[in-house]
Structure formats: structure tokens, C-alpha cells
Amino acid sequence: MVEENLVLYSEDAEIAVMALNRPRALNALDMPTLERLSTLLDQICAAESVKAVIITGSARAFSAGADIRYLHRATPLDLRDFARLAVSVNNKIENLGKIVLAAINGYAIGGGLELAEACTLRIAAQAVKIGHPEVNIGAIAGFGGTSRLPRLVGKGRATELLLRGRLLAADEALDIGLIHKVVPPENLLDEAKAFLRDIIGFSRIAVKLTWEAIHRGLDLTLEESTLLGADMFGLVASSEDFRIGINAFLEKSRPAYIGK
């Protein structure tokens, strides 16, 4: 049975907030926590009232990654299942159909950073430390980091970070494009919600299809990717929101999108 308090959940004006809640373990990921995240993501996906999501951590960590105590006692087959569950959760985040923002409040290390990398956007509090130190314990970034980090910061930077295992300060992570904004820690959640409200004020369909074109297009050739963008443009043009936006522009008024 999964304990619900492993991930705290709340909603605020169309934004869902999920906070990892294992503070004594620096919000390390174990099977029950991943299962709880998976359940909540399914609920959010089906919830019309939720337009965007924030993932953060309680206390002084976002997530310290995989629970080392579990890694120590589990069998290789157990760990394969564990990694596959983590990959499944991260894939759900990436393909949720809604914007997911990682509000990195403290350490985001290993699997914790992989959770953030699966999010659409990332902002961080000042003085956080993030990175992939898996090589320090003879492991690799097996929750998607070897795939997502190169897509976010480029192959060269990702290779150096994954092979050296060093931790980054927030400013360096900002400089290489791994995060999008650095804010004072006391303002993190407010800034995260403001960041998302800038986006959810637009057409939900346009936002969803823009992300889909970006995400799917990365695995295509340039020609295929641009054609996908053209197809998405045609698809969004069939929506009522497209007509609302065009009419509002011509009338010099503020569009009131309906998400259809």
C-alpha cells in the first residue's frame, strides 16, 4: 500500500503542486514514492481543472535521487524494475499533455535531477546544487538522464557532467540552459506559479501542440521535424481557440480562450 504523504498534493487556480515528502531521506526516490507519483500523474492527466503542474520537494531538497539504502539491499532484477518504474514516471511527466515545471528548491541529484529533466521547464532557488554523481558509486543515470541531458544541454556538456559526476551551482545550470531562471528561495513557489500563469493564459491547445512538436521533432530529421510543425499548425488552425485568437488580434481585444 502506497502512503499518500510521500508526495504532498494541492491545487491553486488551475495549477497542481506535487511536493516530494521524505525530508529525512532528502526526498530520495523509492518504489512507493514513484508509485504515488505515477498515480497522481494519472489523476492530473484526467483532471480538466488542472492546466499545469509544479513538482518540487519538501524541506531542503528537491530529491537526492535513488534511495541508496534500497539500492544496497535490492537484487539486480529488483533494480531493473525500479529503474523501469522511474522511466515510466518520467515519461508520463514528459507526455502529460500539460506543462510541468520543476521548482528546484534544494539538492537535485541523480534520479532527482532526472525527474526535473523530464519536466517541460525548470527554475531553481539560489544556492541549490544539481548534478549527476552516479559514477561516484559505480552507477549510471538510468532513469533517462543519458537521453534527456544531452537533449537539454548538448552532447559535449552532458558527457562531461555524466562522466565527471560534479555538481553544478544554480548559476552554472542557468548558463548552460539546464534551468530557465534562478530566484530567491523564499520566492520559489510564487515565481513558479507566475511562470506558469504566463503560459496557461494562452490557448491550451496551442501550448500542448507546441510542446508536442518540439518533443517529437527532436527525434526526426530536420525535414521531418519541420513538416511535423506544419501539420501541427494545420491542426491548431482547426480549433476554436485559433479563431478566437485571430479575431481578438484583428479587433485589438484580449482573447478569451476556451481550450477547444
Q: Which of 134, 186, 191, 240 is catalytic?
A: 134
- Greatest Cα-to-Cα distance within the chain, rounded to the nearest angstrom: 65
**Residue 35 annotated to the active site:** no
Beta carbons of 20 and 58 less than 8 angstroms apart: yes
**Which residue matches cell numbers 519538501?**
58
The sign of the dihedral angle between the CA atoms of 163, 146, 70, 63 is positive
217-248: burial string, b at 16+ Cβ within 10 Å, e else: beeeeeeebeebbeebeeebeebebbebbeee
What are the grid coordinates assigned to 239, written together? 480549433
Distances (CA, A) of 226 to 99, 150, 210, 216, 223: 22, 21, 12, 11, 5
Q: Is 223 a catalytic residue?
A: no
Q: Are strands 129-131 and 167-169 parallel, antiparallel or unpaired?
A: antiparallel
Q: Report the distance separating Cα 56 and Cα 234, nearest Å.
A: 36
Please give the span between the terminal C-alpha atoms of the chain, in angstroms, as a whole number. 38
Check 114, 172, 191, 223 and give the catalytic one: 114
DSSP states of 130-143 as a string? EE--GGGGT---TT
What does the alpha-carbon distance between residue 123 and residue 56 come to, in Å, rounded to a whole number?
10
Angle at 232 between CA 230 and CA 237, to 5 degrees: 95
The residues that are catalytic are 114, 134
